[in-house]
Amino acid sequence: MSVALAADAGLALLILGLAVWTSIARTAGGAVIGFMAYGLLVALVWVRLAAVDVALTEAALGSGLTGFVLLGAAARLPRDAPAARPGWGLRLAAGVVSAAVAAGLAAVVLLLPVSAPTLAPAATANLPALGLGNPVTGVLIAYRAIDTLLESVVLVLALIGLWSLARDGDWGGRPGALRSADPSPALVLLAQVLPPLGILVGIYLFWTGAIAPGGAFQGGTVLAAMWVLTLVTGLTRPPRVGGRGVRLLLVAGPALFLAIGVAGFWLGGAFLAYPAGYAKPLILAIEAALTLSIAVALGLLLAGPPLAQSGPRA
Amino acid sequence: MSSVTLFGLCGAALVGLGLFGLIVQPGVLRKILAFNLLGSGVLLLFGVIARRGGGVVAGNGSDPVAQALIITALVVAFAATVLAVALLRRLVQETGRDSLDSDG
């Protein structure tokens, strides 16, 4: 057994251990913290699988922002005893079914055919025509652009769903889930010092996505995290959900993407086709608008549904 | 056994663990966590299966098509998780309980 394989085996065991901890931890908060550590280790696995773009997304979104949302929810759960666990019969049946599914999938992994079908050569070969160096960005923004367009719309839909959960009286207020009553001075200092650097990192991730791992989603996530940091400490206030400016920012990315896609009917011969020679600038414009819209959408998703103004009213 | 196969088996075990938690856990937050484990195991399996082809052909990298789909899936999973958590918080607001039992 080589050193690398031994290290990978250790990594896999740690991941499984954290997954078990997430399932059996006594408190919800403990389970969520286990899940966040689990997400960071899974990001390491993605690096080991040479999928650095995925690793960045997993660390920022799958572990970081998801953990943030779940921690916030765990802190607000009722303290009384949780509902009774299902009986032994159901647990046994569920265990048998789950073990059978896992064993079946493991068998599939072990019995895979030797030669794997892949589109990687085609994806790499056509990159120069797009002016890109990162094949993942090429797939996201050109070959499978329809997926990315729908995905950016899904974020807006999720936000609409979230806002729909507000009570009638709260509609039109500012999202109120993040503001902590008394942030610690250390956190306030961090929120003052970190965002300039974080914004730089976010913009860099978006820019470098054309030639190296990175892109609109990773960059937008970092920008959203910086915004959320200032929201938590009260340095900035979340915008009113009815405001025109924030809604414009939210749809700017998907709208520009859709507009350029429709223009492709005339200029490129198909929906979402880029005219020859103009692919790179168009892709950069779409990615820039998407980064901004994704950052705003993620930040508002974390900020929760609107709440009516507290305190004295005019 | 190669590292890639090892991570594939790890993904299979995660799917089983997540499925078990999704069925057995009584609390909604625990169900959401289990569902995220299940989804992460599925994505890991997908990445492992794609890695075999892409890694061999395209030099060092993994299959870019699969990577792009996994990134899309991670973003959608995050959006779904946020929505599920918001529903849970509204459930707690309305009923004061965090489980789905109708009689409990």
Q: Which of B33, B47, B88 sits opposite A32 (nearest CB)?
A: B33
A155 plus A279 within the same structural domain: yes
Total domain count for chain A? 2
pLDDT bin (cut points 50, 70, 90) of residue A311 is very low
CB pairs under 8 A between A and B: 282
Q: Residues A139, A263: one domain? A: yes
| Domain annotation covers residue A59 | yes
Closest residue of chain B to A103, computed from CA coordinates? B12
Q: What angle separates helix A145-164 from helix B64-95, to the nearest 10 degrees?
A: 10
Distance CA A148, CA B67 (A): 13
CA distances from A180 to A31, A142, A233, A247 (A): 22, 42, 7, 25
CB A211 within 8 A of CB A133: yes
Q: What is residue B13's predicted lDDT score, i.e. its pLDDT?
A: 96
- Determine contact: B70 vs chain A, CB below 8 A: yes
Domain interval for residue B53: 3-95
Q: What is the CA radius of gyration of chain B?
A: 17
Say whether B44 and A35 touch across the interface (CB within 8 A): no
Q: Work out the minimum CA distance from A231 to partner chain B, whole angstroms.
A: 18
Beta strands in A55-209 (DSSP E): 174-175
Q: What is the pLDDT of residues A105-141, one digit of tens each?
A: 999 999 887 777 778 888 888 888 888 888 888 888 8
Contact of B91 with chain A, judged by CB distance below 8 Å, is answered with no
Q: What are the residues facing B27 on neighbouring strands?
A: B99
Looking at chain B, the whole-number percentage of residues with pLDDT higher than 70 is 88
Predicted structure pTM score: 0.91
Average pLDDT (B25-40) is 92
- Domain for residue B104, yes or no? no
Identify the pLDDT of residue A81: 56
Helix %, strand %, coil % of chain A (to 5)? 70, 0, 30
Subunit contact A106:B9, Cβ cutoff 8 A: yes
B68: domain CATH number is 1.10.287.3510
Report CB contact under 8 Å: A70, B97: no
Identify whether B83 is part of a domain.
Answer: yes
Of all residues in chain B, the one with the smallest CA distance to A84 is B26
- Chain B positions in Cβ-Cβ contact with residue A28 (cut-off 8 Å): 27, 29-30
Distance CA A297, CA A138 (A): 23
Phi, psi of B20 (to 5 degrees): -60, -45
Specify if B38 maps to a domain: yes
Distance from CA of A175 to the nearest CA of B (A): 12
What are the tokens at B88? 């849970």
Question: Does residue B69 form part of some domain?
Answer: yes
Task: Indicate yes or no: CB of A69 within 8 angstroms of CB of B9.
Answer: no
Average pLDDT for chain A: 88
From chain A, pick out residues whose CB is under 8 angstroms from the CB of B56.
116, 118
B60 in a structural domain: yes
Q: Are residues A140 and A251 in the same domain?
A: yes
Sequence-ordered strand ranges (E) for chain A? 174-175, 306-307
- What is the structure's pLDDT at B102? 62
**With an 8 Å Cβ cutoff, are B86 and A117 in contact?**
no
What average pLDDT does range A72-100 have in this prediction? 83
Cα–chain center distance at A263: 29
Q: For residue B99, what is the nearest residue in chain A, using CA coordinates?
A: A83
pLDDT in tens, A153-177: 999 999 999 999 888 888 888 887 7
Please give the backbone phi and psi of residue B14, each rounded to the nearest 5 degrees, phi first: -65, -40
Local structure of B27: helix, strand or coil: strand
Do A145 and A60 lie in a common domain?
Answer: no
Q: Which residue has the tokens 């168009």?
A: A282
Percent of chain A with pLDDT over 70: 96
pLDDT in tens, A20-49: 999 888 888 899 999 999 999 999 999 988
Mean pLDDT along residues A238-243: 87
Residue A188, domain member (yes or no): yes
pLDDT of B82 > 50? The answer is yes
Domain closes at, from A27, A61, A76: A76
Model confidence at A312: pLDDT above 70: no
pLDDT at position B33 over 70? yes
Neighbours of A124 (CB within 10 A): 18
Span B45-67, average pLDDT: 74
Q: Is the pLDDT of residue A68 over 60?
A: yes
Cβ-Cβ contacts under 8 Å for B70 (sequence gap 6 or more): A51, A54, A57, B43, B46, B47
- Are B97 and A159 in contact, with CB atoms under 8 Å apart? no
Q: Give the ipTM of the model, two decimals please.
A: 0.92
Find the domain containing A159 and state its range.
133-309
Name the token pair of A22: 């997430």
What's the pLDDT score for residue B104?
45
Helix (H) or strand (E) holding A307: strand A306-307
CB A296 within 8 A of CB A246: yes
Q: Both A189 and A268 in a single domain?
A: yes
* A159 in the same domain as A62: no
Q: What sign does the CA torsion over A58, A61, A65, A66 have? A: negative
CA dist A61 and A51 (Å) reads 15
Q: Is residue A30 part of a domain?
A: yes
Q: Quick one: pLDDT band at residue B58, thresholds 50, 70, 90? A: low
Based on the fold, state whether residues A67 and A152 are members of the same structural domain. Answer: no
Question: Same domain, yes or no, for A18 and A150?
Answer: no
Same domain, A163 and A301: yes
Quote the pLDDT of residue A150: 92
b/e sequence A144-180, b meaning 16+ C-beta within 10 Å? bbebbbebbbbbbebbebbbebbeeebeebbbbbbbe
Q: Is residue A286 part of a domain?
A: yes
Is the pLDDT reported for residue A257 higher than 90?
yes
What mean pLDDT comes out for the span B55-70?
Answer: 74
Sort out which chain A residues have CB atoms less than 8 A from B97's CB and list them: 78, 83
Total domains, chain B:
1
Q: What is the pLDDT of residues A187-201, one digit of tens each?
A: 999 999 999 999 999
